[in-house]
Amino acid sequence: MATCVTRRVWPAYAEMWRLSSISRGGFINTQTRSFFVFPFGIELGIFGAAAYFITKLKKPDHHSVLSIFGPDPNINDESQTDRVVQCIAHRGAALDAPENTLEAFKYCVERDCNFIELDVRTSKDGKLVLLHDQGLERLAATSVTDVHAVDWESLKNINIGATHPNRSKFNDVHLCLLDDALDYLLDNKVRVIIDIKGDDKQVVNGILKTYSSRPLLYQYGAVTCFNPYILYQIRKRDPQIVAAISYRPYCFSAKDYDAVNGPTNPRYGDNLPVHAALRCADVLHSLVWRWSARWCGVSAVLLHKDIVSPSEVQYWRALGVRCAGWSVNRPLEKLYWRGVLRAPYLADTLVGEPDNDDKQEKTNERPGPVVDRLLEPERHASGHNH
């Protein structure tokens, strides 16, 4: 969820500016024949606002949103409690099993997790491949740096579980196509969030074709992206698709962010003017992303967990928009999201899930050393294992 969005968010704001400029241009042509002359700033604001409201998309049918995201977790209706969404498996619980693979999705289904987030991007021949990164260096330790430059035949046999900490349990794991994943997930009545990576026309057209060929997906699947213009293009052509927008601070100027360290791994850190320009882009982004979310008619927002507060959840709840955080992995954090924020969260591990603790204790399963290290602070503080 925290990938670089520098090249993917700007087109949205450029398009909004273009629409505003078109409207403003029309006003200038007639201004000489009008008695009303406004200062440039006011004129730009008027026609920018007009372009926004004219092009703003409506939200999809409420029943589709309810079918996917379930009842609002803040409700007090006990009859609806079982339908409330608590945990969404981020990339199919990426710390427990190789991410975005059928093996990961089967792992989730076996543990009664019926909501999964996955990432999709296109290969050279236009196939919708489940993959978060642009390349395969992290997952497979290969030299493939951009899957969009490689066809599916050359990708499908690469073992992407080679570097996973639980690789001994998941031998010879391969990339998965979106169609194959949906065949399995929809057959098992698993809801899904499709996170769109890349900004090419192939991925937009591929998502639209996937929905049109699978009517059930309207009730089981939502799309998300950091780039609002990608969401806009999809929902403009098919308004019944449920969408969510993703956001984190400093996405232009830093590769990573967390509350303790702030923005880290700066982009163009050795080029001060460029990095300063990216920081300015971050400020602009922080001011307009809520506006762009409403422009796209989204039904949910997926936010970095460290910027979510009760007031943030309430802000979106008042607008009828669901708010979820990523990635919430520690057991104490999960309890906070369930009990205080009362909002769903995306988790990289199903360890520490209150609903699954009993099952894991009975089977005595351990998901792996990475998760063990991740959970160590809570174990030490609480005096018992999760």
Residue 153 exposed, middle or buried by CB count within 10 Å (0-12, 13-18, 19+)? exposed
Percent of the chain, pLDDT > 70? 81
Rounded-to-integer distance, Cα 59 and Cα 227, Å: 18
The pTM for the full model equals 0.84
Distances (CA, A) of 10 to 49, 106, 281, 285, 288: 19, 37, 9, 9, 12
Q: 156-206: per-residue pLDDT in tens?
A: 999 999 899 999 999 889 999 999 999 999 999 999 999 999 888 999 999
Alpha-carbon Rg of the chain, whole angstroms? 22
Q: 100-133: per-residue pLDDT in tens?
A: 999 999 999 999 999 999 999 999 999 999 999 9
Indicate whether 31 pLDDT > 80: no
Rounded-to-integer distance, Cα 243 and Cα 235, Å: 8
Rounded-to-integer distance, Cα 83 and Cα 86, Å: 9
What's the gap between Cα 363 and its chain centre?
32
Indicate whether 366 pLDDT > 50: no
Read off the pLDDT of each residue in 298-311 and give the average, rounded to a whole number.
97
pLDDT value at residue 266 = 95
pLDDT value at residue 83 = 85
Q: 330-340: per-residue pLDDT in tens?
A: 999 999 999 99
Question: Residue type for 273, please?
Answer: P
Rounded-to-integer distance, Cα 121 and Cα 1, Å: 13
Q: Which two tokens stand for residue 70?
A: 């379930």
Indicate whether 35 pLDDT > 60: no
Rounded-to-integer distance, Cα 73 and Cα 271, Å: 46
Higher pLDDT, 372 or 343: 343
Place of tokens 């990708």: 155
pLDDT value at residue 374 = 44
| Phi/psi of residue 159, nearest 5 degrees | -80, 105
Residue 118 near residue 195 (C-beta atoms within 8 A):
yes
- Res. 64 pLDDT band, cuts 50 70 90: very high
Q: Where is 280: in which H helix or E strand?
A: helix 272-296
Q: Domains of the chain, with CATH numbers?
A: 6-28+36-382 (3.20.20.190)
Indicate whether 49 pLDDT > 90: no
Percent of the chain, pLDDT > 90? 72
Rounded-to-integer distance, Cα 334 and Cα 377, Å: 14
Q: Which two tokens stand for residue 229?
A: 């213009």
Mean pLDDT for all residues in the chain: 86
Helices 6-31 and 272-296 cross at an angle (nearest 10°) of 70
